[in-house]
Every structure is written in C-alpha cells, then in structure tokens.
Chains A and B, each alone.
Chain A
Amino acid sequence: MPRPLRIHLLEIKYEFLKALRMPQYALPTLLFPVVFYSFFGVVFGSRNGPQVAEYMLATYGTFGVIGAALFGFGVSVAVERGQGWLEAKRTTPMPISAYFMAKMAMAMTFGAIIVVLLFVTAAVGAHVQLPPAKMLSIFAIQVAGAIPFCAFGLALGFFVGPNSAAPVVNLVYLPISVLSGLWMPLRFLPESIQSLAYWLPPYHLSQLALGIVGASRGDSPALHVAALAVATILFSTVAYIGYRRDEGKMYG
C-alpha cells in the first residue's frame, strides 16, 4: 500500500478508536437529534399527518448532520490545537490532509448514523413511509451536506480556544438552526426574520433535503448547491488563514 494512503487510513482508524472509547462524547451528538425529532416530529406528526413528520425528518436530519460536523470537527480541532497535540503532529512529516480527512470521515460517519437513526424513528414512531430511492437521496444529500459545515467547524477550530470552543459552537449552532427553519418550519417564525434564512447555509441544505419530499419552498436546487459551495470556499479560506496564522503564535 502506498505510504500516504496508509497514513490516511491509520489516522482514520485511530480517530474512530478514540471516539469509540469516549462514548460520553459521541452519544449526545448522536442522540440529541433523535430525541428532538421524537419530541417535535413524531408528536406533531401523529397529530398533523405524515407530511409534518416527513418535513421534520428532512430538517432534523440536517440539524443532526450539522451538529456532528461542528462538534466532531470544529470542537475537536480547537481542543487538540489548543492543547498542543496538533502542533506535535505538525513536527512530523504527517501530511496535514491525513489529520483533516480523519476528522471529516468521523464527522460524516456520525452524520450518516444520525440520518439512519432518524429514518428508523420516523418509520416506527410516525409511520413515515418513503420509497427507498427517496430515502437514499436524502441520505446522500445530508451526508455530503456535512462538507460545508466541516469547513465551518474547521474555521472555528482555528480561531476559538480549547475551552470556549463548545460554548461558541452552541452559540452559533442553535440560532442558525432555528433561523434556518430546522426546528420548526420558517412560516412559523416572525416574517421579519424569515428572509434571514437565505444567508444561512443550513437553510440551503435543508431545502435540498425538503425538495426530495416535495416540501421545499420552490427555489432551484442549483441555487442551494451554489450557496453551499460558496460557503465551503469561504469557510475553508478562513480556516486556511487561521492555519497559517498559527506559525508565529505563542512564546516562552
């Protein structure tokens, strides 16, 4: 096996091992969206028909995937960077891509597990019956949709300290989720703040997923993909600036 490939695979392997051995960190990220969905999607859904449960399956899946990316990637980078571990790795010839790929693989796997858990909850709790092709489309959209949020998490990880990372992520994550219509449909929000959603990446990801169950607001999927691509480029650039800025920090 070529050495760079072997490094990337080993890095992924040990990233997963670390997570498996710390279930107290992994479980909340995985179960939070399911609990929320059971509460809102299933309870509301049973009263208001399967469309509501389908709608919320798309939005809470988006919510979960974003959380996995921001916490699994952003907070984890901020902590390892702040504690000097990333720096120790940077003194070795490890390609930095191996480090980031491992965190991304981890975040996307978490995202995938969350989406599957939500499918099961929706089927069992709210009798949502989607054709397999649609389920597959939602799954693919949401897991791939983790990418811009991994970039977002990475940018945060390079600018936020190890102790403030989790609170800062929460401070960003929860408001943008609400304002993007992930917790409840946008039309239930005050009209004055509804249009804010257009500027928020989670909105565009959720609209792509909602498009599959026929519940999007009708904009072209191309527009949403473009918005997410722009967000990815923007966040990656910020992360890159932070990464470069690390050269020349700290003294002793």
Chain B
Amino acid sequence: MGAARGATHRVHMQLVPSPAQLTGVTKRYGDVVALNGLDLTIRPGELLSLLGANGAGKTTAVRLLLGLAAPTTGTARVFGNDPRDAASRTRAGAMLQIARVPETLRVREHIHLFSSYYPDPMPIGDVIEAAGLQGLEKRKYGELSGGQQKRTLFALAICGNPDLLILDEPTTGLDVEARRALWKQIRAFIARGRSVLLTTHYLAEAEALADRVVVLNRGAAVAEGTPREIKGDAATLEDAFVEMVS
C-alpha cells in the first residue's frame, strides 16, 4: 500500500502545489540560529513527521509555516501561497503548544467560535465526534483532563475542514492511553486524504503515524525517509536517531 500511495503522490506533485513547503529557510533570533538552510516539502495526503530533540527547530518550522514568524532568508509556502494570507489560514488548521486556554468556556462554545472563522466549517457534531469529545460538549475547558484538553485543541484545528493539519507536539505530557486516543483521531483525519505535519520528540509516535520522517538537528535536516528507512540497520528508531544527532 505504501508503494501505491507513493506513486500517486508523485503524480500529484506535478499538478498541485505542496500543502506546505519550506525552501532554503534560515531563521535567526539575534545570535541564535533556529533553522539553518532547511528544505521541507509535505506531499499531498501524507503525514510527515518532523522529529527532533527540544531546541532542534521544530516549533520554529511550524511557526514559519503558520505565518506567525517570517523567515530570515528563504520562503515558506502553504498550497503555494504566503502562509499569512487568509486563504492559507483557511486551508491549514493548527494545534500549537499553548500554555493556557480560556478555561471558563465550554468545549462546544470554543468549537462554535472557531468554526465561525471559516467559510465552510464542519458541522459541530462531526467535529465533536472526529475529536472523540462525545459527552464532553458542555464541560468547561478548565474541567477537562489533559488528554481531553488536547483533543479539544485538535477539534479547534480541524473544525474549519482544513486540507492541511499542523500539529506541534500534540501528545507531549499525555499518558499512553490519551496519546493513543489522539493518534486514532489523527489517523482518521489522514484517511480522508488530507495532509499532516506533525512535530514530535517521541520516536514511537513518528513510527506509529508517519509516512515519512525528517530528522531535525540544530536547525538542519540530517535524515529523511520512511520510518523503516531511517531505522536502517539499527535495532530501533531510537538507536538510529541517537546516532544521527550525536
């Protein structure tokens, strides 16, 4: 199945612009080089995992693709357009690492408000179901468990019916059960033919979800391939990863 999907991707590549693309991107913050000449292309219909340790530049890459920061040099494109364009923001949904979300609004109210931003949102009932939030609609955000809060943020990311989903370390801090529940929602999203960029420092997460992995170290891509290719001869993805970034 992997090979067949790969072939379709190549045909698509020539016809439609990449859902998300960084070309020759360097990003400096003062003296700190967060990204150093990074090229990154997400193919339509795939889940690309950006794997790296804390501080490798994952969040910076995400911020550039969401138009929250501008590259120092190089370009960031979403479906061929500037990420800051309203059209790009309509087609890309995002789940960021947020310290605090308004806690007194209910799950349904949060989704209701975010849905209103989009021209063609999913019906709220479908969003609730796709994020596994049935029965929690009337719960206030502050009353939810960590996993339920993440699934609410996931709901806000998909409620606009996006073609591209950008997830920045979506499962950090979750227990195994909550992590697997979110994986299920992500897989269901991909199954509808959409594209996903997911950053993570959990190797098991990349292995479980990704069609392709890009390993990021100190702001540059040091390896790229399917999880199996990345693993190569190493016993586990973790061994391969440690070897690459050390």
In which size bucket is the chain B interface?
A: 35 or more
Known interface pairs A10-B116, A92-B89; A252-B160 also in contact (CB < 8 Å): no
Say whether A171 faces chain B, with CB atoms less than 8 Å apart.
Answer: no
Contacts of A219 in B (CB 8 A): none
The chain B residue sitting closest to A3, CB to CB, is B119
Taking a contact as CB atoms closer than 8 A, the residue among A82, A93, A252 that contacts B86 in the complex is A93
A91 and B102: CB pair below 8 A?
Answer: no
A120 within 8 A of B: no
A248 to B67, CA, bound (A): 10
Interface residues, chain B, with chain A CB atoms under 8 Å away: 27, 29, 32, 34, 54-55, 57-60, 63, 66-70, 86, 89-90, 92-94, 96-102, 104-105, 109, 112-114, 116-119, 140, 153, 156, 160
How many A-B pairs fall under 8 Å by CB?
Answer: 94
Nearest B-chain residue to A21, judged by Cβ: B104
Which of A11, A18, A84, A93 has the most chain B CB atoms closer than 10 A to its own CB? A93
Bound state CA distance, A90 and B89, in angstroms? 9
A interface residues (Cβ-Cβ under 8 A, vs B): 3, 6-7, 10-11, 14, 17-18, 21-22, 80, 82-85, 87-88, 90-94, 246-252
| A10 nearest CB neighbor, chain B only | B116
A and B contact pairs by CB, cutoff 8 A, 25 listed:
A3-B119, A11-B113, A14-B105, A17-B109, A83-B99, A83-B100, A84-B98, A85-B98, A85-B101, A87-B96, A87-B98, A90-B67, A91-B68, A91-B96, A92-B114, A93-B118, A247-B68, A247-B69, A247-B70, A248-B69, A248-B70, A249-B69, A250-B29, A250-B69, A251-B60
The complex places the Cα of A21 from the Cα of B109 at a distance, in Å, of 13
A92 touching B100 by the CB < 8 A rule?
A: no
